[in-house]
Structure 1
Amino acid sequence: MAERMQYDVPPTRTEPTAKESLDTLLESLHEHGFLRLANDVVKANSEIGKILVDGLNRPGSQNAIQNLSLLMMALGTIPPERFNHMIMALRAGLLALKPASEQTQQQTAAPGLKGVISLLKDEALWQSLRPLFAGMEAFSQELQREEEPPVTRYSGKQTHE
């Protein structure tokens, strides 16, 4: 008598294969004109490359690229939760500017000496200005430091200029 065969039925595929996904992507790129653009860029690569190199070879372009790089490095040192907190505080401050400006324009008389004295005694005002003063102090201290190349500041390595 014959032995019984062991055969497991393979499961039906629910997702496309890599080849099918690639075909779909290629068709979508063709339908939306991206393949034509890519072909044109490849055909004209020497002209486009020359334009890009000429544009990037200018001192202003090089400065802009270096400045963007420095901005990204500086932003990378700020924890996201603190940056979010600062952005929301900046947003709130900017939104408060217009109503305060409109309120000031409606007042025709200057606050006078009594108004200035009452502002000097306003504890809530001074407490709200403390973060601004601390920020200005840190900004001023950083401005007082001697300028150094960014490579030295971020890596500690000296440059040979």
Structure 2
Amino acid sequence: MAERMSYEVPPTRTEPTAAEAMEKLIESLHQHGFLRLATDMVNANTQIAKVLVDGLNQPGSLNAMQNLTLLFKALATIPPEDFNPLLLAVTAAAKGMRENAHAPAEKSAPGIRGIIKMLNDEELWQGVKPVMAGMRAFGREINKPAEKPISRYSGKPSHA
């Protein structure tokens, strides 16, 4: 008597195979003209590269790239949990300034009494404290002697 065979039915595929997905992607790229664009760019790569290099090799472009790099390096040193409140505060300040710019103008200056009232405004002083601390930090940094950015971020001396 023959031994019983064990056979499990493979599950029905619900998603395409990698080859089918690739074929669909290539067909979609072809239908929308991306393959033609990519082919033209590859065929014209020397001309495109020359235009790019010539454009990027200008003093203004080099300065812009270096400044963007410095901006990214500076932003990388700020943790998001510290940067988010700063962005929210700047947004609120901009809205407050914009709203106040369209407010009806007061007929006269606040005078001595108005200034004394402002001196007793706790909310105003709580808002001024971070601005003053920021101005102190700004003054410390702006008064430091200039150095090459690479020296500041890497700690290594510049040879230029």
Normalised by the size of structure 2, how large is the TM-score? 0.91
Residue equivalent to 1:82 = 82
Alignment-derived partner of residue 8 in structure 2: 8
Instruction: Give the whole-Å Cα distance in 1 for the aligned partners of 2:150 and 2:84.
Output: 27
Using the aligned pairs only, state the percent identity: 55
Aligned pair 1:97/2:97, yes or no? yes
Q: Quickly say closer, same or farther: Cα 1:37–1:64, change in 2 above 3 A.
A: same
Q: Aligned residue for 2:41?
A: 41
SS at the partner of 2:102? helix
Root mean square deviation, CA, Å:
1.5
Q: Residue 97 of structure 1 aligns to which amino acid in structure 2?
A: M
Cα distance in 2 for partners of 1:46, 1:14 equals 45
Counterpart of 1:30 in structure 2 is 30
Output the CA distance in 2 between the equivalents of 1:6 and 1:119: 89
In structure 2, the gaps of 5 or more residues are: none
Does residue 124 (structure 1) correspond to residue 123 (structure 2)? The answer is yes
**TM-fit CA distance, 1:106:** 2.6
Q: Which residue of 2 aligns with 1:137?
A: 136
Instruction: Return structure 1 stretches of 4+ with deviation > 4 angstroms.
Output: none
- Within the alignment, does 1:113 sit opposite 2:112 as a pair? yes
Residues in 1 aligned to 2:6 and 2:117: alpha-carbon distance in whole angstroms: 94
Q: CA offset at residue 6 of structure 1?
A: 2.1
Tell me how many residue pairs correspond in the alignment: 160
Instruction: List gaps (5 residues or longer) in structure 1.
Output: none
Q: TM-score, normalised by structure 1?
A: 0.91
User: Aligned equivalents of 1:122 and 1:84: distance in 2?
Assistant: 27
Aligned residue runs from structure 1 range 49-68, under 5 A: 49-68=49-68
Shift of 1:124: 3.2
